[in-house]
Amino acid sequence: MIGIVAVSHSHMLAHTAVALAGEMLGGQPVRIEIAAGLDEQTFGTDAVAVSEAIAAADSGDGVLVLMDMGSAVLSAELALDLLADDRRVRLCAAPFVEGLIAAAVSASGGADLDEAAAEASNALAGKQTHLDAVAVADVGSAPFGTSENGEVQRAAEITREIEWNGRGFAVAESGLVSRAEFVVDNPHGLHARPAARLVGAVRGLDSSVLLGNLTTGAGPAPASSLSRIAALGALAGHRLEVAATGADAAEAVDRVLALAARHFDEAPGLVTEAASVARGTGPLPASPGIGIGPSWQLAAAQFDTTDLDDPGRAETPAGERRRLDAAINRVRAEIDRLRVTAGTEAGIFEAHQVLLDDTEVLDAVHSRISSGAGAAHAWARVLDDGAAELDRLPDEYQRARAGDLRAVRNQVLAELTGRATRSVSRAGVLVAADLTPAQAAALDPAQVTGIVLANGSPTAHSTILVRAHGIPAVVGAGRRVLETAAGTTVALDGQTGALAIDPEPAVLAEFTERAVAQRLQRAAALVAAGQPAVTRDGMTVHVAANISDLADATAAVRNGADLAGLVRTEFLFLGRADAPSIDEQEQAYRALAEALDGRKLILRTLDVGGDKPLPYIEQPPEANPFLGMRGIRLTLARPELLRDQLTAIGRVAADHPVGVMFPMVTQLSELLAARHMLSEVVPPDIPLDIGIMVEVPATAAKTAAFADHVDFLSIGTNDLTQYAMAAERGNESLGSLADPLDPGVLHLIDMVSRAATGRARVAVCGEAAADPAAAPILLGLGVHELSVGPPSIPLVKAAVRELDSTSCRALATRALTCSSAEEVRALIP
Ligand code: PEP
Ligand code: MG
* pLDDT tens profile 362-391: 888 999 999 888 999 999 999 888 888 877
Q: Tell me if 611 CB under 6 Å of ligand 1.
A: no
Q: Tell me if 664 CB under 6 Å of ligand 1.
A: no
Q: Which ligand 1 atom minimizes the distance to the CA of 714?
A: 5
How much is the pLDDT for 142?
32
Q: Which ligand 1 atom minimizes the distance to the CA of 722?
A: 2
CA–centroid distance, 786 to ligand 1, in Å, is: 13
Distance CA(732)–CA(340), nearest Å, equals 9
Classify strands 658-662 and 208-213 as parallel, antiparallel or unpaired: unpaired
Q: Is 765 a catalytic residue?
A: yes
Q: Which ligand is nearest to the CA of 459?
A: 1
**How far is CA 637 from its chain centroid?**
30
Q: Which ligand 1 atom minimizes the distance to the CA of 566?
A: 5
Residue nearest to atom 1 of ligand 1 (CA): 716
CA–centroid distance, 569 to ligand 1, in Å, is: 12
Distance CA(806)–CA(803), nearest Å, equals 9
Q: Which among 266, 191, 188 is positioned nearest to 226, based on CA atoms?
A: 191
Q: Count how many residues are written for the chain.
A: 829
Residue nearest to atom 3 of ligand 1 (CA): 716
Residue nearest to atom 4 of ligand 1 (CA): 716
Residue nearest to atom 10 of ligand 1 (CA): 719
Orientation angle between helical segments 582-596 and 550-558, nearest 10 degrees = 10
CA–centroid distance, 461 to ligand 1, in Å, is: 8
Q: Tell me if 568 CB under 6 Å of ligand 1.
A: yes
Classify strands 499-501 and 533-534 as parallel, antiparallel or unpaired: unpaired
CA–centroid distance, 668 to ligand 2, in Å, is: 18
Q: Tell me if 715 CB under 6 Å of ligand 1.
A: no
Distance CA(476)–CA(457), nearest Å, equals 6
CA–centroid distance, 157 to ligand 1, in Å, is: 62
Q: Which among 647, 659, 641 is positioned nearest to 580, based on CA atoms?
A: 641
With beta carbons less than 8 A apart as the criterion, state whether 781 and 746 touch: yes
User: Coil, strand or helix: which one is 549?
Assistant: coil
Query: How many helices and strands, by DSSP H and E, does the chain display?
Result: 32, 26
With beta carbons less than 8 A apart as the criterion, state whether 591 and 550 touch: yes
Q: Tell me if 716 CB under 6 Å of ligand 1.
A: yes
User: Coil, strand or helix: which one is 500?
Assistant: strand
Distance CA(591)–CA(269), nearest Å, equals 47
pTM beyond 0.85, yes or no: no
Q: Tell me if 718 CB under 6 Å of ligand 1.
A: yes
CA–centroid distance, 698 to ligand 2, in Å, is: 14
Q: Which ligand is nearest to the CA of 718?
A: 1
Q: Tell me if 781 CB under 6 Å of ligand 1.
A: no
Taking only the tens place, the pLDDT of each residue in 139-177 is 333 333 333 334 434 444 555 567 888 888 887 665 568
CA–centroid distance, 716 to ligand 1, in Å, is: 5
Classify strands 785-788 and 540-547 as parallel, antiparallel or unpaired: parallel
Q: Which ligand 1 atom minimizes the distance to the CA of 766?
A: 3
Cα dihedral 709→712→717→718 (10° resolution):
-80
Pocket of ligand 1, candidates 718, 728, 745, 764: which has the most ligand atoms within 8 Å of its Cβ, to mutate?
A: 718
DSSP β-bridge partners for residue 432: 453
Read off the DSSP letter of residue 485: P
Q: Which ligand is nearest to the CA of 568?
A: 1
Q: Tell me if 719 CB under 6 Å of ligand 1.
A: yes
CA–centroid distance, 740 to ligand 1, in Å, is: 12
Q: Which among 359, 309, 442, 317 is positioned nearest to 81, based on CA atoms?
A: 359
CA–centroid distance, 243 to ligand 2, in Å, is: 55
Q: Which ligand 1 atom minimizes the distance to the CA of 464?
A: 8
Mind giving me the DSSP string for 396-452? HHHHHHHHHHHHHHHHHHHHHHT-TT-----SEEEEES---HHHHHT--TTTEEEEE
Q: Tell me if 766 CB under 6 Å of ligand 1.
A: yes
User: Which candidate in 461, 469, 542, 656 is catalytic?
Assistant: 461
Q: Which ligand 1 atom minimizes the distance to the CA of 663?
A: 6
Distance CA(706)–CA(723), nearest Å, equals 19
Q: Tell me if 765 CB under 6 Å of ligand 1.
A: yes
Sites in the chain below the pLDDT cut of 70:
25-27, 126-127, 129-161, 172-176, 187-188, 191-193, 196, 226-228, 230-231, 266-282, 299-302, 306-307, 336-351, 393-401, 403, 419-424, 437-438, 575, 610-613, 732
| Sequence-ordered alpha helix ranges (H) in 726-780 | 743-756, 775-780
User: Which candidate in 366, 469, 765, 808 is catalytic?
Assistant: 765
Tell me: cis bond preceding 220? Omega within 30 of 0 counts.
Answer: yes
Distance CA(516)–CA(169), nearest Å, equals 50
CA–centroid distance, 266 to ligand 1, in Å, is: 33
Q: Which ligand 1 atom minimizes the distance to the CA of 610?
A: 10
Residue nearest to atom 8 of ligand 1 (CA): 718
How much is the pLDDT for 386?
83
Strands (DSSP E) found in 678-764: 689-694, 712-715, 761-764
Q: Tell me if 464 CB under 6 Å of ligand 1.
A: yes
Distance CA(447)–CA(439), nearest Å, equals 15
Q: Which ligand is nearest to the CA of 611?
A: 1
Q: Which ligand 1 atom minimizes the distance to the CA of 459?
A: 8
